[in-house]
Amino acid sequence: MATTADHDKLNARRSIGWKGMQRGHRTHPLEWIAEKGILLVSLSAIVMVFLIFLFVAREALPVFTGQLNTASGQKVIPVADMEKLSPAELEAYLGLTPEQDAKMDADTKRTLMEVKLEELKEASTDKDTRVNTASWRYFLRPFQWTGYNKPVYIWQPVSDIQKYNIVPLLIGSLKATLVALLFSVPLALGAAIYVSQLAHPRAREWLKPGIELLAGIPSVVLGFFALIVMASVLQSVFHYQSRLNAFVAGIALGLAIIPVIFSIAEDALTSVPRSYTQAALALGSSKWQAAWKIVLPAAIPGVFAAVVLGFGRAIGETMVVLMASGNASIVSWNIFDSTRTMTATIAAEMAEAVVGGPHYRILFMLGTVLFVVTFVSNLVAGLVIMRLKSKLEGKR
Amino acid sequence: MNTQKSTSFRTRTFDFGSFFFTGVTGLATFLILAILAVILLNVVINGWPGISWHFITAGTERDMFDVKQAGVLPMIFGTTARVILMTIFVIPVGVITAIYLTEYAHATSLITRFIRGAVNNLAGVPSIVFGLFGLGFFVNFIGHQVLNPAVWGKPALLWASLTLSVMTLPVVIVATEESLKAIPHGLREASLALGATKLQTIIRIVLPQALPGILTGGILAVSRAAGEVAPILFTGAAYYMAKLPTALNDQFMDLGYHIFVLSTQSPNINKTKPILYATVLVLLLLTFALNLVAILVRAQVRRKLRALH
């Protein structure tokens, strides 16, 4: 008899409410097909996240597996030995495609051999040419290149010896992001507390959309404003050397992330049940005490999530830093030095990178790093907000 | 309202803490709005004199840095074209996903949580990574390896629009979901009680009610995408084009990218400032007009729904 009881339970569950409307599916195959189709389409968001990671990482894969080689340590072949080489070997040696090879006669090839010989002779005098710069040791650790008197971190992909040290870019990104957070977090949090807790309800109606209007300004316009107006104004106030630097870029970045931090923090503060405030007020606290000592601590995970999301947004922002940071890849923690971030590097150099070459792959590697960093910060922030919401809703 | 009365009764003496706290947070709010106002005023005051019928309708045939001759028609055209194409791709997918999330899925099932997580993450992916994705997936993979590389294996209007539609998918999903959730359950139940199937109910009852919300989502997506430059840098935007794009595999000139070009590559920045400011103003007018419409539609819908509940 247990089975019929289960059946009854199942039927009862099916007939309750909208979500339980299962009967229609049986009678209409069309309904069933439609539901499955809708499910398939709605999976596209998941598919897209996967595809983004897959295809950005795919282009960067040779970097991670260490298959790139920029070293030009080729063996030297005398011109007289040209006839001994097979056509394929000759093509590889001279760096020709088969089509190019077919078009050339023996004399042209001989000339090319001589040129190559000269090249290799010249190159072999510099020990740096034999270094494979596209490997992790040269990405992350300093190296004493010829002509330098100490090991240095250099990002210089367009030169005879391509130098791909990403440390200057990492520092540049972190520097600009740090300035942005220091500038925007106090402002955005203050505004969030004011708008959600202290402002008159009528003022709130237009304050919130007003601040969120800032999100409507495209980042290229913020970059333009930082470049044309803010850079000069800030320079005349702080009297620093280079007009474009991490400080200017950071302030403009801060403007870009204020709406993000504000919206999420405001949302978290508003989702704290009214009864919290009412209880505090009933116990004799004033409005600001209730906001500062009761509501803010209750919503603090949401505030944390807002800052984490702001961090993710700032480190991934491109146009602002591309236009306002000065783009010099220097290793320095001074925020008034010109700086180059990862995002600006990708945006500025992708156009001139040879598709499939080491430079191209390393730029995609930077993109993968950015994706992972923002993915993790999104995940953390999402989890924190979800837990906070369920906690507060449970207590309501 | 009672709380207000009680506080005013209590704070008869001067409360320094309250004064300070309200002052500091209020100042932060004011500062943000002031910066916003300064940016907008600066652009409007400097950009307005440059706006003329000629500026809107002329192209850049002679010289894009020529203050007297240059216009922005190709950029307006390019931006509009890529945004319209994007809308065509993103709205159906976004709306269907939102329908699944609100009408079919269980709120706590694994698949719902995965979709929601993916939507949240998609919203936070940096725009430059979308650009890389567009280059790696659409141009290099679909264009080069799947389709004919001679036609599709290069940056194109279609690839830029598709990249942007992936980027704005979360905007449409969230807005549509919000409007679907606001529709009273009674409407659905009434429809079902009259013998309609679930699909019929969704198509005939739920979707018409949610239309303003879907429109809002579309408008927000458009206003977000209109100003984005990073995703189209490698997927379709051109530094200069002699003609307007006519096919899906053409490159295009773009307002946002043109602002970048004008402000960083100009031979004489002081001379070209007027057209730079005017171009910025055109872009801002475009995105703000769209934002304003979205805000108004949303307010209207909320008011209507509050009356329904």
Q: Are residues A338 and A247 in the same domain?
A: yes
Q: Which residues from B are below 8 Å from A322, CB to CB?
A: 260
CA B202/CA B99 separation, integer angstroms: 8
The answer to whether the beta carbons of residues A264 and A302 sit under 8 Å apart is: yes
Chain-chain contact of B28 with A313 (C-beta, under 8 angstroms): no
Q: What is the ipTM of this complex?
A: 0.87
How far is the C-alpha of A165 from the C-alpha of A335, rounded, in Å? 20
Residue of B nearest to A286 (CA): B7
Q: What is the CATH number of the domain that holds A241?
A: 1.10.3720.10
Sign of torsion over alpha carbons B192, B197, B198, B203:
negative
- Number of folded domains in chain A? 3
Do A202 and A256 lie in a common domain? yes
The domain boundary, picked from A121, A148, A164, lies at A164
Residue A66 lies in a domain: no
> A207-231 burial, b if ≥16 CB within 10 A, otherwise e?
bbebbbbbbbbbbbbbbbbbbbebb
**Pairwise CB contact (< 8 Å): A378 & B291:** no
- B-chain CB neighbours of A363 within 8 Å are 132
User: Smallest Cβ distance to A31: which of B100, B197, B233?
Assistant: B197
Is B275 within 8 Å of B263 (Cβ atoms)? no
| B99 in A contact zone (CB under 8 Å) | yes
Is A285 inside a domain boundary?
yes
B220: nearest CA partner in chain A: A216
In chain A, residues with a C-beta closer than 8 Å to the C-beta of B257 are 220
> Which residue has better confidence, B147 or A94?
B147
- State whether residue B44 sits within 8 Å of chain A by CB: no
Dihedral angle at the C-alpha atoms of B254, B255, B259, B261, nearest 10 degrees? 20
Asked if B61 is an interface residue toward chain A (Cβ–Cβ < 8 A), one would say no
Confidence of residue B99 (pLDDT cuts 50, 70, 90): very high
B246 contacts chain A (CB < 8 A): no
**Which domain-ending residue is among A146, A164, A182?**
A164
pLDDT tops 80 at residue B128: yes
> Quick one: tokens of B202?
């969704």
**Segment A243-253 mean pLDDT:** 91
What is the distance between the terminal CA atoms of chain A, rounded to a whole angstrom?
41
> CB-based contact (8 Å) between B155 and chain A?
no
Residues A331 and A205 in one domain: yes
Pairing of strands A155-156, A163-164: antiparallel
CB contact under 8 A, B127 and A316: yes
Question: What pLDDT sits at residue A223?
Answer: 93
B46 close to A (CB below 8 A): no
Partner-chain contact A194 B25, CB within 8 Å: yes
A217 and A298 share a domain?
Answer: yes
Residue A267 lies in a domain: yes
Specify whether A241 is located in the same domain as A110: no
From B247's Cα to the closest Cα of chain A, the distance in A is 23
Q: Cβ of B233 and A224 within 8 Å?
A: no
B146 touches chain A (CB under 8 A): no
Residue B19 pLDDT greater than 70, yes or no: yes
Burial-class residue B49 by CB neighbours within 10 Å (0-12, 13-18, 19+): exposed
Q: Determine whether the interchain pair B199/A277 forms a contact, defined as Cβ–Cβ distance below 8 Å.
A: no
User: Confidence band (pLDDT; 50, 70, 90) for A92?
Assistant: low
Chain A residues touching residue B263 (CB < 8 angstroms): 223-224, 227-228, 323
pLDDT in tens, B189-219: 899 899 888 888 998 889 888 888 888 888 8
Q: Which residues pair with A143 in a beta bridge?
A: A152
- Do A147 and A172 sit in the same domain of this protein? no
pLDDT at position B3 over 50? no
Report yes or no on A73 lying in a domain.
no
Residue A324 belongs to what domain range? 167-395
- Based on the fold, state whether residues A250 and A271 are members of the same structural domain: yes
Chain A residue whose CA is closest to B29: A191
| Last-in-domain residue among A132, A149, A164 | A164
Map out the domains of chain B with their CATH numbers.
75-308 (1.10.3720.10)
**Rounded to a whole number, what is the distance in Å from the CA of A127 to chain B's nearest CA?**
34
pLDDT tens-digit readout, A130-152: 677 777 777 877 877 777 778 88
Q: What is the pLDDT of residue B106?
A: 82
How far is it, in rounded angstroms, from Cα B144 to Cα A109? Answer: 32
In percent, how much of chain B has pLDDT > 90? 29
Q: For tokens 């989702």, what's the residue? A: A271
Structural domain contains residue A361: yes
Is the confidence at residue A24, as pLDDT, over 50? no
Rounded to a whole number of angstroms, the distance from the CA of A17 to the nearest CA of chain B is 8
Distance from CA of B86 to the nearest CA of A (A): 15
Q: What is the pLDDT of residue A126?
A: 62
Q: Are residues A175 and A316 in the same domain?
A: yes
Domain assignment of residue A51, yes or no: no
pLDDT digits (tens, 9 = 90+) for B249-268: 888 889 999 999 888 887 88
Mutate to test the interface with B, among A55, A169, A320 (most CBs of B within 10 A): A55
Lowest mean pLDDT among A266-270, A311-315, B288-292: B288-292
Q: For residues A278 and A328, state if they share a domain.
A: yes
Give the pLDDT score at B291.
76
pLDDT over 60 (residue A119):
yes
pLDDT-derived band at A190 (thresholds 50, 70, 90) equals: very high
Contacts with A347 from chain B: Cβ below 8 Å: 128, 131, 230, 233
Which of A183, A194, A230, A361 to mutate to test binding with chain B, by most B CBs within 10 Å of its CB? A194
State whether residue B8 sits within 8 Å of chain A by CB.
no
Residues A272 and A366 in one domain: yes
Which of B25, B97, B127 comes nearest A44 by C-beta? B97
Distances (CA, A) of B5 to A282, A289, A290, B10, B238: 12, 17, 16, 9, 62
- State whether residue B89 sits within 8 Å of chain A by CB: no
Tell me whether residue A52 is in a domain. Answer: no
Instruction: Give the chain A residue whose CA is nearest to the CA of B34.
Output: A211
Whether residue A317 is contained in a domain is answered as yes
For residues A307 and A179, state if they share a domain. yes
B22 interfacial to chain A (CB closer than 8 Å): yes
Name the minimum distance, in Å, from the CA of B124 to any CA of chain A: 6
Can you read off the two tokens belonging to residue B194?
């009259």
Residues A145 and A173 grouped into a single domain: no
A224 and B25 within 8 Å at the Cβ level: the answer is: no
CA B149 vs. chain centroid, Å, equals 31
Rounded-to-integer distance, Cα A82 and Cα B120, Å = 61
Distance CA B191, CA B202 (A): 9
State residue A374's pLDDT score.
92
Q: What per-residue confidence (pLDDT) applies to B1?
A: 43
Residues of B in contact with A315 (CB under 8 A): 126
